[in-house]
Structures are given as structure tokens and as C-alpha cells.
Structure 1
Amino acid sequence: MLSYFFIYLFLFLSLFDSSIYSQRIQRSQKEIPISALSATATTTTTTTISNVYNARKEDNRTIAILASNLTLSDLDKNNSTRSGFYTLFLSRPPFPIRPMSTVSKSYESDDPIITYCSNVSVKQDPVQQKLSENTIKNAPMAMMLGAPEVLQFGQNLIRLTHAKRALDIGTFTGASALAWALAIPADGEVISMDISHENLKRYGKELIDSKPEISKKINFKLGPAVQTLDSLIAAGESGKWDFAFIDADKINYPNYYEKCVQLLRPGGVILIDNALWGGSVIFEEKDESAKAIDETNHKIANDSRVDNMLLNLGDGTHVVFKKYE
């Protein structure tokens, strides 16, 4: 009976917060028999539980419970089950979660306010729409796709600052490079860099090439972005770029930021994606990516060379303006 009490208690508490995360989380200190859990499940299969984590914060701990649609064979046996028991997680997750429903990309969210803002703001070219749809439908890591509202915001900044030369750090399927190429003038240039072009080839390149007047503006560079940026600096390109978008491996965010400041002209703009990392930047215990993002955010805040504003747009968007000397 005590087991039933705890299950109903945590199901009730989960109603107060619909925050969802699907990253791997730490093994718990409490366990509940599968037979007890199945009594609360909505499915008739007694050995199924959900792949949705409902979490709430309490006393600096994250309480999470799984309940309904994932078979036990789909679970990580090392972290989720032991001796026929299902794990009820009571420890703070070491990987990003969304502790607040307001931190979300529009294509991941069912928040009516986020949907409303996106609907009245985002104006995508048909090729952008096709590329986004193809990525979301077919790419295994579709969640890496830049939020359309963030790309729209970047396009607006490019037009506002009359930018002609843009750096795109993190190509993925090419959505961000396409956005910047659409926004810059006919004689503009985008350099998009990534360590792999597999996703670009599979899900984006053909669509981008269908608009030759746009694709001719984009130079896709293969290799570590740090090396590409260093080569531009070595070639005397410092102070000659107008816009930079950072959306690659988070560990290198501090390096990318520093090199972009050097490459941008006074009045240039840097847009940094995933600057809130699902909200996990606020936790005392962070994974390595969250630490690097948090370090970058604070580095920007204390950088006398720039003005900045961190926005709760998409998964967090840090806007940085390089000051005029």
C-alpha cells in the first residue's frame, strides 16, 4: 500500500509542471515494483512505461516519474531497471532538461504563446519550409535544427545592419546558412563550417542548390570550425565580417565567441543559439556543455568590447553587438 501511495503522490505532483526531458538521467535512490507502477498506467500492458519524463523542482532536487508507453526492452538496463524493479528518479539530472516550459523551440513546443509568436513573426521562403520539413521528418538528430523564429530574428538583424558577409558556425542540414544567404544582398557571402557534411548532403544540399541565385552565396567549409576561423584570422580577415551565428559543439562556445569578436567589424552582430540549453544553465550542477555555455554567457556580460542581450527565444538566444571603437 505504501508503494501505491508514493506513485499516486508523484503522479499528482507531476500535474503541476509539464516540463519534459528525454536525456539520460542519474540512477535513483528509490525503486518501485513494475507491478505497482502498472496499476497506474493507462495501457493494458503491465510491463510498459512512458518515454516522457515529467519533472518538477523541489528543494534543489528534480523529481521525475515515468508512466505509460515504453517497453522495458527499450530502457537502458544499467540506468533504469534492476532485478525487475522500475526506477523512480529523485536526483538532479546531469544532462539538460527543460525546467521551464518557456524555454523551447517553436517546432518542439505546444505552448500557445510560443505558437502565436511564431505564427505572426516567421516568414519562411518555400525552400526554407521544405528543408525544415525534410530535416524534422527524416534527420535522426532533427532537434539540432535551428528554431525558425531564431533564424527569422537573425535575418532581421542582417537586414537591419546591412550585413553582407556572414559566418555560420555549425552547418547541420544547411538551414541557418540558407537563412543568411536569403537575407544578404546578391553580392554577399556566407561561410558555413562544420566537421561533417553528411546531414547537409542527405537533407539540405539538393534543396539549397535548387535556388542557384542563393546557393552561389554560400561556401560550405568541411573541418573543425576553430581551424576554419583561425585560417580566416591568419588570412587577414579580422574586422571584415558583419554577422556570425554560433550553433555548433557547445564545449567550444567560448573559443567560437572570441574568434568571432575578432573577425567582426565594429557594429557587427553575433547571434549565439542554445544559450539557455534547456534551462540547465541555471543549475549548480551542470554537464560540460552547460558549463561552456554558462561560461560564454558570463564572458559576454563582462566583455567591454560588446553590448549584449540574452533572450528567451528558442532555446535561448544571446545577441551580441560589437561596439564602435
Structure 2
Amino acid sequence: MPDPMIIYLEFEKAVAELEAKINELRTLAASGSDIGDEVAKIEEKSAQALAELYANLTPWQKTLVARHPQRPHFTDFIKGLITDFTPFAGDRKFGEDEALMGGFGRFQGEPICVMGQEKGDSTDSRIKHNFGMARPEGYRKAVRLMEMADRFGIPVLSIVDSAGAYPGIGAEERGQAEAIARSTDACLSLGVPNVAIVTGEGMSGGAIAITTANRVLMFEHAIYSVISPEAASSILWRDGTKAQEAANSMKITAQDMLRFGVIDRILHEPPGGAHRDAAAMIATTGEAIAQAFAELQGLDADAVRKQRRQKFLDIGRKLG
């Protein structure tokens, strides 16, 4: 059997078969069989196949990797990078939204405000966090956090991974579009530096609401777009089964975003994706966060706002 700890995607079938063979041989080796050289050869073959596969992923394959349930989530980054984290709950207007989490803590000893979507990693937690799809109260909580961070001169970090804002009737009745717009405006108005990282899916206004930052980073196999491939397929062809074709045409990969100037840096993932070595990916993310904030150190509030505003104006001019 393949490694039971890893969920394999359909296009990883050849790698799964090699790793299943490795596991079988390791079991034989543990019983006393002298097959160490054979195991080493297949391990090398498997590693090479994995590296070659991930070096040539299509946009649709990257979409599947970005949605992999074992990729590190918001809570994993909090545990790995933030100390003394104190979560905040509620928007002071309606209620709490578990899909968009946030609070204050310390990053490398310095105060920081952190917020982001949490998808959950089990059936119960996914339901609890609504699969990372925030409602209006989630974005109003984000505004509350950003305003407090700005008041006390604390930088803001956003960790983005969402299929989009929740499209339910209740969310629309409570002003979903208005809440997203105000959150985006709060990002633009910050007088403190803010850094955003797209770790998985960065879909629609639900992502941009907390991704309008001085520095935007993106994982190598993440995706970032105004609409999901499935939704684009339904609109363009009135056929949701053409999501793969849509993904291959939409320019949603990190490489596309860097070329268009939408993001500032790509964070390379371990061979096989971030879920193959979450600890290493979280450590790499921490180094990138520190560097991004260091680049903004010393700027006063007006300079921070001007740099951020210019960044997004430049995107419009470049794409226009």
C-alpha cells in the first residue's frame, strides 16, 4: 500500500505505486531480508519521478495541489511561527465567524496581528470553520483587528487559503459585498506594514479582502484568481465539467501572478508539495515573512500607505 499518511492525487498514481513498493520492501527488510540496495534504488527512482512530476504541473494539477487537504493550514502556521497568540472572536455587530480567524501574538519576539482563513482538517473541524468560507462577520472581525493593529502600531500578517466568501442567503442579507469592500479598504488604509501569503486557494473577493498588502507572497503551487475554475466554466460554457479547461486558460498560478506583478515573491515548496514536509514549509514561510517586514522597516505611516497604493496602481497599469 502507498504511504497511509499521504493522500495521493489522481495524477500522482505512478509515484504512489513506487512508494507502495518501497513500503513493501521495507517490511521485508525489517524481517531480515537483505534488500537494502534495492530499496535505495527504488527510493531514488521515486524521488526523481516526484521531482519531475511537480516541475511540470499543469494549472489544473496545481489547483488540485492547492486544495490538498493535508497542506498546512492557518492554525499550523500559528503553532509553528507565532508565540503568545491570543485569538479574537466576534465582529461586535452580529457574531463570531470561525472561517476567518485572527488575533495578536508575537513573531520572532515582536508583536504582530495575524488573520486568515482556516479550512479545518477533519469532518467536524471543516464544518466548524465552514471550509474556510467566511461570512460578513468574519470580514468585519478582520476590520476590527486591523483597526486595532493600526492604533497600536502593530504590523499585520494575512494567511490566505479560501475557495471564496460564503455565498449563502444569510451572508448576502447581512451585507457580504459591503463587508468585503470595507475589509479591502481597511487593508489599503493601514499605516502599519502588512504582508499577505497565499498558501493554497486565493479565490475571489473573499481572498482579496485580506490580501491587499504591501507585500504579497504566494506558495509555489497555490492559485490566485477572481473566480474558481468551476465557476468560470459554468459562466463561460454553462458546463461545470470544463473546470480543467478553464484553469488552463485563466492564468491562476503563482508563476502567472509573479509575471503580472500581482505578487512579489514565490515561496518554493518541497518536492511533492507543502503537505509532504509541512514543518519545512512553515519554516521557509517564517523566513519569508521576516524578510518582507524587514524590507518595510523604517517607513512612516504615509510612506507605508503610499507604497501599498502604488503597488496596486502599478498592477492596473501593467495589466491594462
Using the size of structure 2 for normalisation, the TM-score is 0.34
Which of the two has greater helix per residue? Answer: 2
Q: Which structure would you say has the larger Rg?
A: 1
Which of the two has greater strand per residue? Answer: 1
